[in-house]
Structure formats: structure tokens, C-alpha cells
Homo-oligomer: A and B are copies of this chain.
């Protein structure tokens, strides 16, 4: 396989993977493109490589910056902005965990908290509250585990899990 085919395949696969993770296809592809690029790319480069519009490129690059997965690179004497991807996979995953935890897990825990206070003494209410509390317990544990994971550095992570696996 040559480089052009390889790049193409990687962009397609990474984009498809993104779709099943609540990330839109284009955003995942831009990230992929920047990851395999040896140097920073401008918005125009991204538009051309992925055959997408300026608006689309701009919005998704912005979103990637929000997630901490892509950075601006300003060059002296160049008005144009260039972009580079975070390439350390551990940092990529860590940022995704941080963002999704904040956007999804934490609000859910808050809702579960409110729901634990549902009143009533019939079987259905009891079952409901019991189930909610179970889910909340599990979610809170997951939450602290993720906090620990976030604080830990890559080597620690790999080391610990390698021991677990062996």
C-alpha cells in the first residue's frame, strides 16, 4: 500500500469510528488528518485534503480546539493560522475523558441525586428508588475512577494496567 491510499484509508476509518462515538465524521477526519501530517496545516489545506467547505472546516477545527485535541500555531509574518493535533494518544484519550465526564457523567449524577428523593411506599416506587441508587453508586465510582485516571500520567497508567493484564 502506498502513502496516498494509506492516508485515505486512515481518514475513512477514523471518521467512521468517530460516528459511533458521538463525534461527527468530519471532526474525526480533521483530527486524523492533522495527526498524520508532519507539519501544521492551514484551514485551506484541510478544506482541500478533505474536500469540505470553509464553514465546515472552520466549525470543526474550532470544536477540536475546544476539546483540547488541536492547537493553533501562529507563524511570524504569516497572517494565516495553522493547526497541529495532539499526537500523544494518552493525552488524546485523557482530554476526551475529561470533556465527556464533564458533559455527560456529571450532569447524569446530578439527575440521579434528585431522583433518589422520589417519595412513595408502593412496590413500584421502592423498586425505582432502589434502581436509581444502584445506578448512582456505580456512576459515582466510575466518576472517581476517572478522576484518578485523569490525574495519573501515561506511564503510570500503562504500568498499572500491564500488571493487571499479566
Residues of A within 8 A of B (CB): 1-3, 5-7, 9-10, 13, 17, 19-22, 35-38, 87, 89-90, 93, 100, 103-104, 107-108, 111, 114-115, 117-120, 122-128, 131-132, 134-135, 138, 141, 144-145, 147-148, 158, 160-162, 164-165
Task: Name the B residues within 8 Å of A115 (CB-CB).
Answer: 1, 6, 9-10
CB distance from A10 to the nearest CB of B (A): 6
Whether B13 contacts A108 by the Cβ 8 Å rule is: yes
- Inter-chain contact A3/B124, CB cutoff 8 Å: yes
Partner of A117, one of B1, B35, B119, B132: B1
Taken together, the copies of this chain in the complex come to 2
Closest chain B residue, CB of each to CB of A85:
B131
- In the complex formed, the residue of B with least CB distance to A107 is B13
Which one, B2, B10, B120, contacts A2 given CB within 8 A? B120
Assess whether A128 is in contact with B3, with CB atoms less than 8 Å apart.
yes
Contact of A132 among B10, B21, B165 (CB under 8 A): B10
CA A114 to CA B8, docked complex, whole Å:
13
* B134 x A87 contact (CB < 8 A): yes
Contacts of A37 in B (CB 8 A): 124, 127
6 tightest CB-CB pairs across the interface, nearest first? Answer: A38-B127, A6-B118, A89-B138, A20-B22, A145-B161, A13-B111
Q: Offer 21 A-B interface pairs, CB within 8 angstroms, sorted by A.
A: A3-B124, A3-B128, A6-B128, A13-B111, A19-B22, A20-B104, A21-B21, A35-B131, A35-B135, A36-B128, A37-B127, A38-B124, A38-B126, A38-B127, A87-B134, A141-B158, A141-B162, A144-B161, A145-B161, A147-B165, A148-B161
